[in-house]
Amino acid sequence: MDDCLQQYIKNFEREKVGGDQLLRITHQELEDLGVSRIGHQELILEAVDLLCALNYGLETENLKTLSHKLNASAKNLQNFITGRRRSGHYDGRTAHKLPNDFLTSVVDLIAAAKSLLAWLDRLVLQRAVFTGN
């Protein structure tokens, strides 16, 4: 969150603005919470939009689908490396520029791992909120 928005945190806490209310907040409600500058309202609403998009992605995916994506990405990268070794493009001693397909496979693996970790992190956070820890 931008530093300029920190000044409003106490207002949100005092009025007990919860997650569901925040996801549906309007310009008028922000005004009522003391966020009078239009630029600050826009920053908050943009952040809420990003949160909604992230939340939607996390709700439509589950541990099984994310694990499968990570497994598929890892196997894809492994197959790519194995194929290069078998074809003689890699001898283990000479440095070569990596092909774009390899780099794409690495990025896909990292993205799949990040998605899984974000889902697990959110799950831990939800359990902590529900149990009061």
Q: What is the pLDDT of residues 82-110, one digit of tens each?
A: 887 887 766 667 767 778 888 999 999 99
Q: How many CA atoms lie within 13 Å of 77's alpha carbon, on the beta-carbon side?
A: 16
CATH homologous superfamily for the domain 3-58: Transcription Factor, Ets-1 (1.10.150.50)
Stated pTM of the model: 0.49
So where are the chain's domains? 3-58, 61-131
Instruction: Please write the tens of the pLDDT for every residue from 30-63.
Output: 999 999 898 899 888 888 877 776 666 555 677 8
> First-to-last CA distance in the chain?
24
Q: Are 66 and 119 in contact (CB under 8 A)?
A: yes
